Amino acid sequence: MQSPLIAQAAIECNSAQLLNGQCTFDYNKLIGIKKDMDPAEANDANLFVADIFLGATFFIGTLAFMGLIISGLRYIFAGGNDPKAASKATDGIKYSLIGLSIVIFSYTIIRLIQYIVAARI
């Protein structure tokens, strides 16, 4: 017996919907969030704002990580022949690591605030 694909669990479709092109894909089921909520809570404005903040955090973290990779490649390609290029690359690595640290810290703070607000402490 084969296990179903992960994305298959998020696709809701019967034969009539398939013929009419009305199949749905639930992103929240795919990544495993908001599964135990009723639809009224899942569309709450506070949750929407939290999703915006978390999405922005992941996006900025991805950009910082890409900056780290690009700066690392620039440092490798400088190869000791061009000290100015190597210095720029090390500065890029330093700033990317600072950015990643800030993103990780801000994500931690956001999750902590969500926990406190949800628990109503």
Q: Which two tokens stand for residue 32?
A: 């495993």
What tens digit of pLDDT does each residue of 67-83 get? 999 999 999 998 878 88
Q: Evaluate whether 32 touches 85 at the Cβ level (below 8 Å).
A: no
Cα 9–chain centre separation: 20
Contact 98, 104 (CB under 8 A): no
Digit-coded pLDDT (tens) for 16-32: 776 777 777 666 666 55
Place 105 in a pLDDT band, splitting at 50, 70 and 90. very high
The residue behind tokens 């999750």 is 111
| Three-state DSSP state, 22 | coil
Res 90 pLDDT > 70: yes
Instruction: Tell me the sheet residues that pair with 24.
Output: 12
Inform me whether the pLDDT recorded for 34 exceeds 90: no
> Could you say which DSSP state residue 24 is in?
E
The pTM is what?
A: 0.60
